[in-house]
């Protein structure tokens, strides 16, 4: 995909590669290689290191601290970061709430929140899903009742990723329970996670970790000044944010990195008959199928980015469907490659395929289980097919 690179593109690519070779912290690189979980400190320190280079607001307008990069330059950045195994930027800040703030927020809200959002001095989490409102998000029941210059919020959010780390939550609440259509009675609030009445409870997922949470809100007071846009018009912000989230779920650059690692691993595993796993017809065919689908997805993502990153439209649903499927297929192939080493208790014997192979292999099964969720969050793939059927095919 270098045919369209300008001299400026190549210079940026070389600058990013030099930065990763010399400034990517060794301990963080090792954690990424082993597939080990990152701490809050790991994520914040990496984000701030990128911020010192001006490389956090990669999609943001220059006037709000963005890079001013072209679509191709953004693609180069994401590709090079993923190829080096570097952690991604925190999507809640950069891909989700940031664009909502600079597009729909007041000037005061922009001044207050955008700098900290860009630098990760403010860590955001997403208050969307509820126990009875996941893919049918408009069915949410968390209530916000106006009381002078404040809202009193009561309800429960669930599957709130990394809420245990968050300083603030962008939250959808129902401000008009009698609206003709449920989407018309929703407002978009910014809620301080240190407010009295907020309780965060971890949820243990299939891989044994607890990255998601239930968030309970009991008589939480939120200033009206923390509402984005007009009352009962929050669905507009919600849709824009979800479009950017779904585009991010495509994970093209990360999947290219994982595909290269899968090929390297499979080429070092011997199987009966003197071949390597990568030379076996069935395994090689499935790897090739993923690679072809990933190449098609990459070109599709570039077309969506070229059309405008703040308004991906129904194409984001396609990216989400295909991208999440590729992510899941790659983890399935990794489990097959790891064999019995995929069991954490078995990852203590055998030949090293590359440094930390056994440690990584022992995490392949938990990662497989964890990625079952990617076809659900951001709006399930079934919902995305309905969006395509309605918005693209006119059904």
What is the per-residue pLDDT across 136-162, written as a single tens digit (0 to 9) for each? 888 999 999 999 999 999 999 999 999
Kindly report the pTM of this predicted structure: 0.82
Q: How confident is the model at residue 351 (pLDDT cuts 50, 70, 90)?
A: very low
Q: 28 near 42, Cβ under 8 Å?
A: yes
Nearest Cα to Cα of residue 212 among 172, 162, 169 = 162
3-state secondary structure (DSSP) of residue 238:
helix
pLDDT at 352 over 50: no
Which helix (H) or strand (E) segment holds residue 227: the answer is strand 227-228
Neighbour tally for 185: CB within 10 Å:
21
Q: How confident is the model at residue 221 (pLDDT cuts 50, 70, 90)?
A: very high
Q: Indicate the DSSP class of residue 201.
A: E
- Centroid of chain to Cα 103: 20
- Report the alpha-carbon distance of residue 319 to residue 250 in Å, rounded: 5
pLDDT at 345: 47
pLDDT at 316: 77
pLDDT at 99 over 80: yes
pLDDT at 22: 96
- Report the alpha-carbon distance of residue 221 to residue 341 in Å, rounded: 50
- Report the alpha-carbon distance of residue 223 to residue 123 in Å, rounded: 19
Higher pLDDT, 51 or 342: 51
Mean pLDDT of 202-225: 92
| 199 labelled catalytic | no
What is the per-residue pLDDT across 190-212, written as a single tens digit (0 to 9) for each? 999 999 999 999 998 877 788 89
pLDDT at 388: 83
pLDDT at 347 over 50: no
- Report the alpha-carbon distance of residue 362 to residue 346 in Å, rounded: 7
Mean pLDDT of 76-87: 91
DSSP for 39-95 reads: PHHHHHHHHHHHHHTT-S-TTS-GGGT-----HHHHHHHHHHHHHTTPPPP-HIIII
Neighbour tally for 158: CB within 10 Å:
20
pLDDT at 1: 44
What is the per-residue pLDDT across 296-329, written as a single tens digit (0 to 9) for each? 998 888 777 666 555 567 777 888 888 899 999 9
From the candidates 245, 258, 298, 301, which is the catalytic residue? 245
pLDDT at 273: 83
Q: 200 near 167, Cβ under 8 Å?
A: no
- Radius of gyration for the alpha carbons in the chain, expressed in angstroms and rounded: 22
Q: 215 near 157, Cβ under 8 Å?
A: yes
- Report the alpha-carbon distance of residue 308 to residue 148 in Å, rounded: 39
Place of tokens 């990360």: 254
């Amino acid at each position: 995909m270098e045919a369209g690179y300008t001299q400026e593109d190549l210079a940026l690519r070389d600058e990013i590669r030099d930065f990763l070779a010399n400034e990517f912290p060794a301990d963080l690189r090792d954690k990424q290689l082993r597939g080990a979980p990152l701490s809050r400190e790991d994520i914040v320190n990496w984000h701030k290191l990128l911020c010192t280079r001006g490389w956090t607001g990669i999609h943001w307008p220059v006037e709000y601290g963005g890079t001013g990069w072209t679509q191709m330059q953004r693609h180069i950045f994401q590709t090079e970061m993923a190829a080096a195994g570097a952690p991604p930027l925190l999507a809640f800040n950069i891909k989700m709430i940031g664009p909502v703030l600079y597009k729909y927020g007041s000037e005061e809200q922009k001044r207050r929140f955008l700098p900290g959002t860009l630098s990760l001095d403010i860590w955001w989490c997403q208050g969307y899903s509820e126990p009875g409102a996941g893919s049918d998000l408009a069915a949410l029941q968390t209530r916000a009742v106006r009381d002078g210059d404040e809202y009193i919020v009561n309800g429960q959010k669930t599957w709130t990723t990394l809420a245990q780390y968050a300083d603030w939550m962008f939250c959808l609440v129902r401000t008009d329970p009698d609206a003709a259509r449920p989407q018309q009675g929703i407002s978009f609030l910014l809620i301080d996670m240190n407010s009295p009445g907020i309780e965060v409870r971890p949820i243990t997922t299939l891989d044994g970790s607890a990255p998601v949470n239930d968030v309970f809100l009991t008589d939480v007071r939120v200033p009206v000044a923390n509402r984005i846009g007009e009352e009962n018009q929050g669905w507009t912000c919600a849709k824009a944010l979800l479009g950017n989230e779904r585009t991010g779920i495509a994970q093209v650059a990360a999947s290219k990195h994982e595909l290269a690692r899968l090929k390297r691993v499979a080429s070092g595993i011997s199987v009966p008959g003197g071949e390597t796993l990568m030379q076996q017809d069935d395994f090689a065919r499935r790897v090739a199928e993923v690679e072809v689908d990933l190449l098609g997805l990459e070109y599709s993502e570039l077309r969506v980015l070229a059309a405008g990153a703040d308004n991906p439209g129904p194409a984001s649903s396609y990216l989400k469907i295909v991208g999440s499927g590729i992510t899941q297929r790659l983890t399935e192939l990794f489990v097959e490659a790891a064999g019995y080493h995929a069991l954490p208790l078995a990852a203590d014997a055998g030949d090293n395929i590359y440094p930390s192979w056994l440690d990584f292999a022992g995490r392949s099964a938990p990662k497989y289980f964890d990625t079952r969720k990617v076809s659900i969050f951001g709006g399930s793939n079934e919902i995305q097919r309905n969006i395509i059927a309605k918005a693209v095919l006119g059904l």
